[in-house]
Amino acid sequence: MKTTRKIIGALVIVLFGLPTLFGIIWTVGLIRATVSPEFVSDLPREIIAEVPRLSDEIFRAAQDKDVTSDETTRAWAQAAAKTGISPRDLLAKTGMLDWMENELSASLKEVGQVLRGERRPREILVDLGPLKQALLHPEVEAFLQATLQNLPPCDAQGDESWRQFALSTSRHRQLPACRPSVERVEDVLRAERQRAVDDIPNDVKFFGDLDVRALRYFPFGFVGTLQFFSYLLFLIPAAFIFLGALIAASSPSGFLKWSGVSIFAGSLPVLLLSQFTKQVSHWAVKYGSFSWGERWSGEFHDLVFDKLGWIGTRVIDGLMSPVVVVAGIVCVVGVVLFAISFSVRSEPKKKII
């Protein structure tokens, strides 16, 4: 009879308790990450502040033959440098820098205040109109035209490459470092900028579909309310694990042992997997080699990722660290329950007749 109960209890735990615990830990960890003000608000604002400096550094380094041996990439960078306009200057002239540092940064700051509970939730609208206007700004067209004027005229092969680029739907192609006919240049540049603008939405809404009235019944704030409900999800695997332990165990000590071991067994793989994913992702950002078709040379790829790799690392940390923390806490709960089991009664209570 005891063996049958242990088999049934183990099946309930293995088939239902452990899989649901595995999934709930990931769910709760990722929810914590995606509503974290550090991840949603602070990190984007930090990236915005670094954009002008990083773009200038990449622009200067791309002209150096010691950094990139690809002649086409270097020729384009050198032609752009001869215009006397740096990326920071272009961002300022088109109004994009002012928009990023003021309107966009202020909106993200409001998002962070809502997530921290410093202000009541409300719809926050980020207008992307200035970004679209900047891409179509005459200064951008003037900069591109001036860059092309610093390139040598195209031969027949270069003209054909420009023609194929204009007809292609894929943009993972390398443009030759030469100046084609004026008509072709204007058509291609206009089409490319319009394509980029069309792909950008008019605005981005935060908390747009949020029922603010419902939150006033919870004293935890916006983030606290979401996290509170996410923690309640642990009741699902807990019910299966405790039910299985109750069936399999014949004493309070056995119940705690079954529960503690099961919780530990269900959370340890998540802890190991999330740590492994985090470390592998760090390695991929730092050392992984890939290229967008033939457009980037290996040297230019290394240059860009050397300057921007910290962004990928911070994003990975922001997503994976909460999962690691949640999995670690659940592991500790399992160990504590197992340890407590040695201090309670290990024999079933005898019935008094």
Residue 227 lies in a domain: yes
In-domain check, residue 176: no
Residue 185 belongs to a domain: no
* Domain annotation covers residue 313: yes
pLDDT at 338: 93
* 172 located within any domain: no
Residue 141: inside a domain, yes or no?
Answer: no
Q: What is the pLDDT of residue 292?
A: 42
Residue 284's domain spans which residues? Answer: 2-128+201-343
Query: Residue 195 domain-assigned?
Result: no
Total number of domains in the chain: 1
Q: Which residues neighbour 180 within 8 Å (Cβ) at sequence distance 6 or greater?
A: 154, 158, 159, 162
Tens-digit pLDDT profile for residues 117-155: 777 777 888 888 888 888 888 898 888 888 888 888 888
Q: What is the pLDDT of residue 290?
A: 46
Which ranges constitute the DSSP H helices of the chain? 2-12, 18-34, 37, 43-62, 71-81, 87-93, 96-98, 105-115, 129-135, 138-149, 156-167, 182-198, 212-215, 221-232, 235-248, 252-287, 298-340
Q: Is there a domain that residue 191 lies in?
A: no
pLDDT in tens, 296-308: 445 566 677 778 7
**Of 52-66, 77-91, 255-269, 316-330, minimum mean pLDDT range:** 52-66
Mean pLDDT to the nearest integer, 208-219 = 59
